């Protein structure tokens, strides 16, 4: 297995490419013309390293962070190889991805890059009507982009034929395993031709990914794009800030931060779709233009929301982690974490959506007192400092608004286009001091901006977590470093089952379907992750019975999860959910 370790340009220090461009990688004129029309100039490191061996037909493992250009790295070689192949009825390539959002994004990219070739590509995912997918597959497509569960469904129906596959791509492989798709991936890959080319892309390389690679890839080129460390004295492009706030005041704190920061375009992350809907209602009531994206939207609604955000008609996009994964958004000025992400990886994925392409960005996290250990764990594992700040007061907000009005008045004075108002001012200054007239005008402007809304102070919370309490938290790394005889002191259930991690109170949910309905762990994890927006790392042990299933989830989120899954079907079956009294 050949290995390349290539430094990746960090968000703060961009190295100039030494390549002469995409032409030097072996791409042909048709694709180079398309890339030119799309405005591409220089390949990213993952593209430089991955495209040549993929063009040569080699199997490949590509490790690189989200947002580094992996989609083009595997799509461009795929399209060039397809251009030189004989057209066939069955699919030429299968691309497996963890979520429907990513399936849509990747299929759009394949269509965009392969437009000149007239490539027929189909996105296949759950939560959408299966009949149009059946019709398209029967008609014949060259590239299928699919989530594992729906791909396996089509394979069992014999509507997706794999016997002529030339290429298989596993994108975001670590996320697919986190969502419980390991068995599905093995089942799919075992039914593909042994002569196929296989490429596996992942942000991380845990043992389970390495095991899949060993079983299904042959003499693979292993490319690892490592981040170049930030040099001392170089300020990070993404400024990270945290605010300690009680749960009861989180909405008010978020609004206060938005009012003070006035972001041009911001992503707000929540854990559940219920929180998304509630925040949108609150924000729009405060005069913001916000939209939400979560598992409860159909594709037409998603397209409308994303088009509105990309065009600037909406300046706040409120989303769950799962719904936002794979969305290609390049102009985000702020990322706001309404909840602290459950893992450092999720945090990195979130804040990586701002500060792109050399721009500066802001990442802001609301931290409840009980979540402080999560934030400290993120700091330790990412080796980054999140600056804790005090929430702005009402006086700070008033001063900010007055400053904004003053700036606007200066711009009007500079433009010198206020002649029609001078007569009123002249009349007023005959009886009042000019400074008083100006101050009264500002008061009027201030009132028109805020209306009758009364701002309330948000209580300041000091860091009350004692060090002794901090030390009882057990991280994954610490568990691995302990002698085998040592046992963690915390005895509560752990989110993620045997994945290790800090202890949190857990509750068992009872699903009214099990083995007899064909339900497996991956179906339950996928449903909870997609519909409730809960990261798979927070889902505890799962037990499948003949007619029921038990899943442990964080106690605080159990009711939200039940509400989010209230109208969801699992494996096409309506399933009721209740708290299990054990």
State yes or no: pLDDT of 217 exceeds 90.
yes
State yes or no: pLDDT of 80 exceeds 90.
yes
Cα-only R_g, the chain: 27
Structure confidence at residue 124 (pLDDT) = 92
Please check whether residues 39 and 156 belong to one and the same domain. Answer: yes
Provide φ and ψ at 16, rounded to 5°: -75, 135
Give how many domains the chain has, as a whole number.
4
Higher local confidence (pLDDT), 43 or 487: 43
Dist CA 14 CA 34 (whole Å): 25
Dist CA 531 CA 409 (whole Å): 48
End residue of a domain, out of 184, 200, 227: 227
Higher local confidence (pLDDT), 298 or 222: 222
| Residue 542 included in any domain | yes
- Do 120 and 142 contact (CB within 8 A), yes or no? yes
Structure confidence at residue 66 (pLDDT) = 63
Domain with 119 in it = 2-227
Please check whether residues 219 and 243 belong to one and the same domain. Answer: no
Of all residues in the chain, the percent with pLDDT exceeding 90 is 23
Mean pLDDT of the chain, nearest integer: 78
Query: The tokens of 487 are what?
Result: 């046992």
Least confident piece of the model among 17-26, 195-204, 269-278, 395-404: 17-26
Binning pLDDT at 50, 70 and 90, where does residue 298 land? confident
Query: The tokens of 225 are what?
Result: 């794009």
Q: How far is CA 63 from the centre of its chain?
A: 18
Going from the C-alpha of 194 to that of each of 189, 222, 448, the distances in angstroms are 9, 20, 70
pTM for this predicted structure: 0.50
| Residue 352 included in any domain | yes
Max mean pLDDT among 71-85, 126-140, 408-422, 499-513 falls in 71-85
- Do 42 and 32 contact (CB within 8 A), yes or no? no
| Residue 459 included in any domain | no
How do strand 334-337 and strand 290-293 relate by DSSP bridges? unpaired
Structure confidence at residue 227 (pLDDT) = 55
What average pLDDT score do residues 570-579 get? 83
End residue of a domain, out of 342, 373, 392: 392
Nearest residue to 26 (alpha-carbon basis) of 83, 91, 64? 83
Please check whether residues 185 and 201 belong to one and the same domain. Answer: yes
Please check whether residues 274 and 208 belong to one and the same domain. Answer: no
Query: The tokens of 370 are what?
Result: 């009980």
Higher local confidence (pLDDT), 408 or 368: 368
Please check whether residues 356 and 445 belong to one and the same domain. Answer: no
How many residues comprise the chain?
582
Please check whether residues 186 and 273 belong to one and the same domain. Answer: no
Query: The tokens of 306 are what?
Result: 């994303």
Please check whether residues 365 and 405 belong to one and the same domain. Answer: no
| Residue 471 included in any domain | no
Question: Can you give the CATH number for the domain in which 261 is found?
Answer: 3.40.50.300
End residue of a domain, out of 177, 192, 227: 227
Binning pLDDT at 50, 70 and 90, where does residue 50 land? very high
Please check whether residues 169 and 303 belong to one and the same domain. Answer: no
Please check whether residues 138 and 55 belong to one and the same domain. Answer: yes
State yes or no: pLDDT of 17 exceeds 90.
no
3-state DSSP assignment of residue 167: strand
Question: Can you give the CATH number for the domain in which 548 is found?
Answer: 3.30.70.330
State yes or no: pLDDT of 477 exceeds 50.
no
- Do 323 and 101 contact (CB within 8 A), yes or no? yes
Strands (DSSP E) contained in 166-323 are 167-170, 197-202, 221-227, 238-244, 266-270, 290-293, 316-320
Nearest residue to 323 (alpha-carbon basis) of 525, 111, 99, 129? 99
Structure confidence at residue 10 (pLDDT) = 31
Structure confidence at residue 472 (pLDDT) = 29
Please check whether residues 128 and 277 belong to one and the same domain. Answer: no
């Amino acid at each position: 297995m050949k290995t390349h370790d290539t430094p990746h340009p960090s968000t703060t220090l961009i190295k100039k490419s030494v390549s002469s461009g995409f032409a030097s990688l072996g791409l042909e004129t048709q694709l180079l013309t398309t890339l030119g029309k799309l405005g591409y100039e220089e390949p990213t490191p993952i593209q430089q390293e991955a495209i040549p061996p993929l063009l040569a037909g080699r199997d490949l493992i590509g490790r690189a962070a989200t947002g580094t250009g992996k989609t083009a790295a595997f799509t461009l070689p795929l399209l060039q190889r397809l251009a030189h192949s004989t057209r066939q009825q069955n699919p030429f390539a299968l691309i497996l991805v963890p979520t429907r959002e990513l399936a849509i994004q990747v299929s759009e990219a394949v269509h965009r890059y392969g437009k000149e070739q007239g490539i027929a590509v189909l996105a296949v995912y759950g939560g959408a009507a299966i009949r149009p997918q059946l019709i398209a597959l029967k008609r014949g497509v060259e590239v299928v982009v699919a989530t594992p569960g729906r791909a396996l469904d089509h394979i069992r129906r014999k509507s997706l034929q794999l016997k002529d596959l030339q290429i298989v791509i596993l994108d975001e492989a670590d996320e697919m395993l986190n969502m419980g798709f390991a068995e599905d991936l093995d089942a799919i890959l075992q039914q593909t031709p042994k002569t196929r080319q296989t490429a596996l892309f992942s942000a991380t390389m845990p043992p389970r990914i390495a095991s899949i690679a060993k079983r299904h890839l042959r003499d693979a080129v292993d490319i690892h794009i490592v981040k170049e460390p930030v040099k001392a004295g170089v300020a990070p492009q993404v400024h990270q800030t945290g605010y300690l706030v009680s749960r009861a005041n989180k909405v008010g704190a978020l609004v206060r931060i938005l009012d003070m920061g006035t972001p041009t375009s911001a992503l707000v992350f929540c854990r559940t779709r219920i929180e998304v809907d509630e925040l949108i209602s609150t924000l729009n009531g405060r005069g913001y233009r916000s939209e939400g994206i979560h598992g409860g939207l159909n594709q037409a609604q998603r397209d409308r929301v994303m088009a509105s955000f990309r065009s600037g008609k909406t300046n706040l996009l409120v989303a769950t982690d799962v719904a936002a994964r794979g969305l290609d958004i390049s102009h985000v000025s702020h990322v706001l974490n309404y909840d602290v992400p459950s893992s450092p990886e999720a945090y990195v994925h979130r804040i990586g959506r701002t500060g792109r392409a050399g721009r500066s960005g802001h990442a802001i996290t609301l931290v409840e007192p009980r979540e402080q250990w999560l934030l400290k764990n993120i700091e330790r594992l990412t080796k980054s400092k999140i600056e804790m700040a005090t929430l702005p007061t009402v006086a700070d907000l008033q001063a900010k608004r007055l400053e904004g009005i003053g700036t606007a008045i200066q711009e009007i004075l500079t433009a010198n286009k206020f002649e029609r108002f001078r007569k009123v001012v002249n009349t007023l200054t005959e009886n009042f001091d000019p400074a008083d007239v100006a101050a009264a005008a500002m008061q009027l402007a201030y009132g028109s901006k805020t209306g009758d809304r009364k701002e309330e102070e948000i209580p300041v919370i000091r860091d009350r977590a004692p060090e002794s309490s901090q030390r009882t938290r057990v991280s994954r790394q610490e568990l691995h470093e302990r002698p085998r005889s040592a046992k963690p002191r915390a005895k509560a259930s752990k989110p993620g089952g045997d994945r290790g991690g800090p202890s949190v109170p857990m509750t068992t949910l009872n699903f009214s379907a099990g083995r007899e309905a064909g339900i497996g762990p991956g179906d339950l994890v996928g449903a909870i992750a997609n519909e409730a927006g809960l990261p798979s790392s927070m889902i505890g042990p799962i037990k499948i019975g003949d007619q029921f299933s038990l899943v442990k989830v964080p106690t605080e989120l159990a009711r939200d999860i039940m509400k989010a899954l209230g109208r969801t079907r699992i494996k096409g079956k309506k399933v009721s959910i209740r708290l299990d009294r054990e």
